[in-house]
Structure 1
Amino acid sequence: MKIQQTLQHGPVRGFRFGYSPTRLMRPVPVWCYYLNGLLIDTAQRNMQRDVLRTFARYQIGQIALTHFHEDHSGNAAALRGQHNCPVLAGPLTAERIATTFPLLPYERFWFGQIEPCPGALPLPNLLTAGPYTLRPIATLGHSDDHYVFLEEREGWLFAGDFYIGNLKVFRRGENIHQMIAATRHLLTYDFDTVFCGHNPVLTGGRRAVERKLHYLETLVERVQDAHRRGVRGQALVRAAGLQEQWWLRAFTTNDVSSMYIIESILMR
């Protein structure tokens, strides 16, 4: 089962790709964005044939990755070969995509195996795409290598997985305190449009990010307060207003869970 969709917002064109090997499980789709010869993220390996067919008719002069996760970097090597263009990435992203890093069964199910992409170039201080200038900004939390790209004059934020919405689960290793710090820093910049990797917000994006910050800070307060009162385990999940999705936890081999939000809050 495949999903393909496009959006147009001024000169920015978005492409949504999703894949599931069975109709019993919905795809987990991802967006990548094209702006004046710059492609931001590359979608998942399981959609490579469709990705290459889609972008064969576009002039791609450079590819920039927000982070290393398989649904964002999965076609970097193939698209680089198709267009003979550089791949730009943060240092940890470049290190990880240079080889085939291990994936869990559910990641291969939805996204596919990683094709190594050695030789990615460092992100510059500013990315240029014709008349547009994008500033890479480190935004840790979802992963420890995550960047967003901000076009300040236009108020565009290419957000990768920085903004998805009010998350009810975390992947193993996500860090809520880093997310909050990154969000506070990003809100010192001016933007209105959020081109998210999973949930685009084309108007009112700044307010959406402010609401997410409030949501994260409220989660931290609820869990820390309950923990001080002696609440433990799954009761902390309920105190946070969350509910464990046991089927998802089982399907992802314990990689995705509401409990990881709790553990991240209590790391300090």
Structure 2
Amino acid sequence: MVNLFTNEDVICIEGNVQRSGLKLGTVYSFLVDGMLIDTGTQCLESELIPIYERHSFDLVTLTHSHEDHSGLAPWIQKHRNVPIYVHPKGIHICAEHCPYPKYRQLTWGVRAAFDALPLGDIIQSRSQEWKVIYTPGHANDHVSFFHEQSGRLFSGDIFVTTRTKVIMDSESIPVIIYSIRTLLSFDFQSLFCAHSGYIQDGKSKLKQKLDYLENLSGEVVNLYEEGRSIDEITQMLFPKKYPIIAFSEGQWDSRHIITSIVGDR
């Protein structure tokens, strides 16, 4: 199911992925000033294509190459013939056909290969200049987009929620903390998150996430220095076993939060 609504002159395209009545996830794309930020997921292709056929845009910018953000890029490249930009570290990933595990294929669909161009420090839409901010931690090719005049920040997957409970084995909490600090140095108000949508008080919410992750990191380090094992710390801080842990065969796990913090010491 796909819904459209507008906030601050931004068309927010909300894609809800469901299987057998079970909601698997929500992912947003955004249309602003003739620029499409992220494309949505391939499994919602039949609902997203009519939207992209009737709206005008001159370029696509990807916050990162993950399939829930780039799933419609191959169709756009073939049928709309507009440039698609990603951080240079993501270009080779975009050029691969479906370079991700089976459970993600079942969730988001099968993304074909496409050709992407490298983002620089600035990207120009029709009438606005956007700062491209490198914000790794969730993905090595992750960026955020900031429009200084309007105070709008498009943060990809850096925010998502104030209290992180599980992460992928490729993610790093210390690097995410660094990226959040980087974003908080900018004078933004509203936040457009790829999984939570429009957040009017975005800066305060992102600050809440930073506080949570910094406090969590301190707690993990203290427990580790007391001699607790990784598994003991995980059980103490995250006793709940989330369904995605089994579904992803461990690629997502609360344990990865602990190991990323301990490994950074």
Q: Give the structure-1-normalised TM-score.
A: 0.94
In structure 2, what is the Cα distance between the partners aligned to 1:195 and 1:89? 18
Matches within 5 A, 1:1-268: 3-23=1-21, 25-118=22-115, 120-165=116-161, 166-240=163-237, 242-268=238-264
**Contact 2:28/2:195 (<8 A) preserved:** yes
User: Which segment is superposed worse, 86-95 or 125-134?
Assistant: 125-134
Q: What amino acid maps onto 1:160 in structure 2?
A: G
Q: What amino acid maps onto 2:207 in structure 1?
A: E
* TM-superposition CA deviations, 1:48-82 (whole Å, max 9, x none): 12111111101111000010111001111111222
User: Percent of pairs identical after alignment?
Assistant: 27
**Contact 1:59/1:83 (<8 A) preserved:** no
DSSP 3-state at the match of 2:54? coil
Q: What amino acid maps onto 1:104 in structure 2?
A: P
Aligned length: 263
Q: Give the structure-2-normalised TM-score.
A: 0.95
The CA deviation at 1:167 is 1.1
> For structure 2, which runs of at least 5 residues remain unmatched after alignment?
none
Q: What amino acid maps onto 2:11 in structure 1?
A: R
* TM-superposition CA deviations, 1:76-100 (whole Å, max 9, x none): 1111222210001111111101111
> For structure 1, which runs of at least 5 residues remain unmatched after alignment?
none
**Contact 1:66/1:160 (<8 A) preserved:** yes
